[in-house]
Amino acid sequence: MKILVLYQSPWWNAAAYYTFNLVKSLTRIGCEIIFVGKSDTPIGKRISDDQFRIADINIFEKNPINFYSNIKKVRDIIVTEEVDYLIPISAPGHIIVGLIKMFSDRKLPIIKVCLDNVRPVKNLLNIYLHNTLTDYFIFPGNSTKVNYHSFQLNNFSIIHAPIDVNAFLDFSPIEDYKTVFGIPKHKVIISFIGRFSPEKGIFFLLDIMKSALSQSDNLFFILSGSEEQVKYADVQNKITEYKIDDKVKIINKVDDVRKIISITDIGILSSRFSEYICRIAMEFMVFKTPIVAPNVNVIPEVVGSDGSGFVYQTNSSTEAASFVIKLVNNSELRNQMGENSYQRIRRYYDTTAFDNQIKNILEFVK
């Protein structure tokens, strides 16, 4: 089976991660992939580096003449390569294959992977594109599907982002990372790993930390991630204002998050929005690390309600702190939640489960 996958993004983000893993999944189940998108983007480079075929086409072309030319290029690939399935991910790619299908005698199945975090505009073209031309929809979570409530989607699946559990666990520390990063050896370590940006709620997290530290002295926080819209200095100033300098360590983005996760007892998230995949939650869970996380988008779906972690109300720093303290004070609870986390990831989010779901969809729409 030959499959055309259309996606483009100037960033390596959650959607790019999902798309790349989808391409690898399709290859594992025996499909031949042709990837359509700019080759000089982060995902375009990853696709090329992994020896997948790529058609270097700017599917976000705004010039009408060039956009029409791109439609012709994609149509020529479909005909010449005798493509069997069309999987658009970016909205412009969806429009391109929809127009091709509309005016083609060969009605190839379109499977739209909905990784957009915005609600599609409801107009006549989109209604026809979604309700008539598209055969199946894949959503990374129920929190994304709600954006499509105004369309009549008869065939769809919720398929969360995958993680290769065995590959991620294949980690052999060559150093004592607590020593390397200057982390105390006999404290309960609570780690935040993510961008220092508004959507990750870094200043809200400091309120959680202040509240938790006022209730126990047996904990230490790590804040690790790239400095983006929020500056390290501003975070450090707030830490100093809260008089918790000796209980917190800011660490720049590491080359391998497992260096931090491997020395972590509790994972903490403080996102205000975003989190349509929440890969870091899955990575904590693979390492049997219980999570305290907000009720934001896909997070409750990933963490679940089977004792894998605590989900707090998004704006309640006191509730979040109370969950932290419960875990700090109860090592048995930490261990049990950690084991539950691992079992949940292994069962629902490992690449094997992802592959099976994708294979079933291809068989359904063929």
Tell me the average pLDDT across 71-97: 96
User: Which CATH architecture fits 166-348?
Assistant: 3-Layer(aba) Sandwich (3.40)
pTM for this one? 0.92
Token reading at 133: 């031309």
The number of beta carbons lying within 10 Å of the beta carbon of residue 102 is 13
Residue 273 has pLDDT above 90, yes or no: no
How many CA atoms lie less than 13 Å away from 56 in the CB half-sphere? 5
Of 154, 163, 104, residue with least CA distance to 130: 154
Residues of the chain with CATH 3.40.50.2000: 2-162+350-365, 166-348
Token reading at 183: 């982390």
Read off φ and ψ for residue 190, nearest 5 degrees. Answer: -115, 120
pLDDT at residue 339, as a whole number: 97
Sheet with strand 136-139: strands edge to edge = 111-113, 136-139, 156-158
pLDDT digits (tens, 9 = 90+) for 184-230: 999 999 999 999 999 999 999 999 999 999 999 999 999 999 999 99
pLDDT at residue 274, as a whole number: 82
pLDDT at residue 234, as a whole number: 97
pLDDT digits (tens, 9 = 90+) for 179-192: 999 999 999 999 99
CB 355 within 8 A of CB 29: yes
Lowest mean pLDDT among 25-39, 165-179, 346-360: 165-179
Residue 125 has pLDDT above 80, yes or no: yes
CB 277 within 8 A of CB 161: yes
39 to each of 59, 127, 153, 316, how far by Cα in Å?
A: 11, 31, 32, 43
pLDDT at residue 116, as a whole number: 80
User: Which CATH architecture fits 2-162+350-365?
Assistant: 3-Layer(aba) Sandwich (3.40)
Give the C-alpha separation, 328 to 206, whole Å: 17
Residue 140 has pLDDT above 90, yes or no: yes
pLDDT at residue 42, as a whole number: 95
Token reading at 61: 């072309």
Give the C-alpha separation, 150 to 330, whole Å: 46
* Chain mean pLDDT for the chain: 95
pLDDT at residue 305, as a whole number: 85
Residue 175 has pLDDT above 90, yes or no: no
Give the C-alpha separation, 100 to 105, whole Å: 10
pLDDT at residue 66, as a whole number: 94
pLDDT at residue 183, as a whole number: 96
pLDDT at residue 63, as a whole number: 93
Tell me the average pLDDT across 348-360: 96
Residue 117 has pLDDT above 80, yes or no: no
Of 69, 139, 63, 58, residue with least CA distance to 99: 69
